[in-house]
Structure 1
């Protein structure tokens, strides 16, 4: 009874399951039938993908989609069209073709009877760009030509100085040639090419690009007065951005009288001194040009010639060359320059010696404001056989640092005895040393034929009546200071125990503070 019941029960369950299975199978059949019907009815042309990634020119690529057998042509950037006749194979689902050599990065367009289909993705390739040559020498602002393979894939060119020229600024570009303008500020060096593609390259040239520099050849005239026009001839002078004259004066190209590739005309600055001209290129590189000599007044003699006769009120006759350039004369110990002369010509000038004038150096100021000391002795002054300092320290001695926080200015122009500069020493009352000159490598100034150590000293405010230590070759002598006037000092070398040579000199305060000026140091 139990077995019969179980069997009957199972049959009933199977009868209930079978209709369900039949319905499920019927549903699948219907769905499949519907899909087949949709595929059969769909005629839409679709591009689903293309590849493979990293493909190279000349390799086969595939386009995958629906109804691709209706595609009549495929267009790559930049306007490279592959007609259906050049496809290697075509089916509704796949088109195969060989990538043409002049294809570049960009979107792909499928030509169809229903209209163009543009890819959503950018097509790119792995491109073995080769740079085989370029113009070896060029001038800034001119064009160079680069040759090679797949040059159309170059995205930028970097010139020396990190000057980058982007693709859109190229003059022209093809698969085998690129033309580009050399940046104005570049200089000689290697070029760097950056490419596009799936594997971008950075290619540095093995050879350098030689960039032209200005080549000045001659100066006319080579001796000239201030503010006159100078003519410079040469090659590539249109590259000059500025000229630096002796003395440091700079004239920029916008201040030139005229400028061309072969000639520059420029006005000589009033502060120019003798020296080579320095020409600056757009890159900042400098080129040295010819030597320029500045014509200045040159006084060769005084009349009367005897310095004892150089007294206030006396008419002093100066002879020399280019004296017509003199604008004013500054006499020692006279605060205001003399601007009115008895007479003046290129070779002679007569002037009345002003009140208060003392012996020293008469200084010319030219009509252009340039100062020139007259080397002819004027009035009562020390005449040195060996000069240690006059405007600068002379070899074999050099400037030392002193000690005790004393400040020494060896090119001061506030108070001058001879020339245009003197030594200003500021003492602070601590027995410090200043105006120290020496040779600590064994050199010395020979005293042969000399009898005196000589110098001039000027006392600043509050220094009158003080004494200063004067050291020569390790021996010291005290000298009294006079405030507000120059004092010429001559000390017998015997007071310093007659040294055969002088390797060091210095001056030292004796516990007082203040400024003194020292000038015209030497032997006589």
Structure 2
């Protein structure tokens, strides 16, 4: 028999030994109250305090050494009162000593539950609870935490309570409560008594799902029993449908287009979920194709069933969305094949993430039957004939692309460009297929034979000597970006000296030549450019001659004549590990002139020479009393020689260069300045003169 006590109250406690019961928020173990008291043997006794999770055992008179303790949290623990327990003081045993209650615990057993009936029933039906002193029950609590107040009881007497099972109730034990918390505005702890038997609350039951398989977008019917208990339906894919007035069937008129295969879930008002058997979906089926040998950009028809479900047709290296279909029905799809598609099977996709595979397609490629003339000079036209030439995207003679001036399915007209080479003509198609002519085309030229250059690079304003044979055929030399040479030195049949224009673009470049006969040709690629001139040497702060590095972990100062620019240079001469790597540094404003330097108008110039592949990013540091500022410098290109890198002072920010605070001035740079990187380095890089320069634009030092 289970009993419920009336008149529950908190009781106070004494401290003993080291226990502290003064504050709820103290760091010591403390007991502030326990209850209910009077309590019920077999019922629950609760303790409120601080750090009660450290209690090791509890002594009740007649039931000492209780260790089966439920820890609700730091501030509350609970025990079940043994049947042997007697009135008296309660003792909590802790690692810090014993805590004894100020007042004794008492026991009362006025309320009891002898049984509940029926043990199985449906929400909305009446449950009968029998026992004694049920007339003082204030509420009944169903699983899971569903409270019914006495005002909503069907009937209440000393020996019996009748109550309707709430729609939200779940299966489990039934609790009767004296409502001490309700009657005291939460100040007292209520006594709860559990039924010995568990109540079995009826759940909805699914007996069939039709149709199965379902066609997305169609009508779905779920049949079963007790559907008046269903709050909502969750379809595979996540769509939720609130249910109203259902009893034995639920009809979903328009299922979502993106419904998935899987389990249908009914959610009862109690929150308990009931699952169906797996729902399958109708998939598109392919019956036939208009062709299996097809052409990029041509019409293509797929016939079959349920093709209206298709949202996308995916081909090898190309796809077509349903919105771009030419025609679309349940029986057929007409579309235009992507220009980029290549041989292979295609797949039809649906919004439900199902798919259907089609057979492999073969895409036609162009054929080159002939070309005329079979030889021509640059800037002359050639006509190619064949089939499917409308698929051609570009025409090549060696490494030089020809210009397409006319194009049909059977004919291509192209212009031969300077630099074209004799050999097979190559056509590339829109899907990347390459086709070569079976015979060679001859490029007619009467051009000099260029063997190379005397210098390793062309420096603006200086002579670049071209070497070869028949060089007196050259009339004009044109540098990249159509910059014509205007000044020459000596000329002979084997050498021509040309002054590199000052405005030439720095980097590897190709010089074009025009002969007196009007023919054009290309010279070997050469590095063009040099370093920017130092306008005021007093602003140079690294030159590795008199202004070098005081410290650094990697690299060294070198003076190899083959690499020197204008004296010593610093070379990163070893592969570097990951993490921070520093190279050359000084501090304390040493040889660091800042007079008249402003962040908005000045830059840092650094001459570099990359001997390997493009480097990773670098970081330049300017550290001082205003903060620690870094500029992130993009990786250096290998340009075949020395060139100048510009670092605006406005690029310097805090937090290793990633922050939001910009360098305010350079006059307060009184600590470290130098170069570092934060990732591994696997190539050799040289650095020479580093200096400050004012530019006629808004930039950094």
Q: TM-score per shorter chain, which class?
A: 0.3 to 0.5
* Larger fraction in helix: 1
**TM-score normalized with structure 2 length:** 0.34
Q: Comparing both structures, which one devotes a greater share of its residues to strand?
A: 2
Using the size of structure 1 for normalisation, the TM-score is 0.44
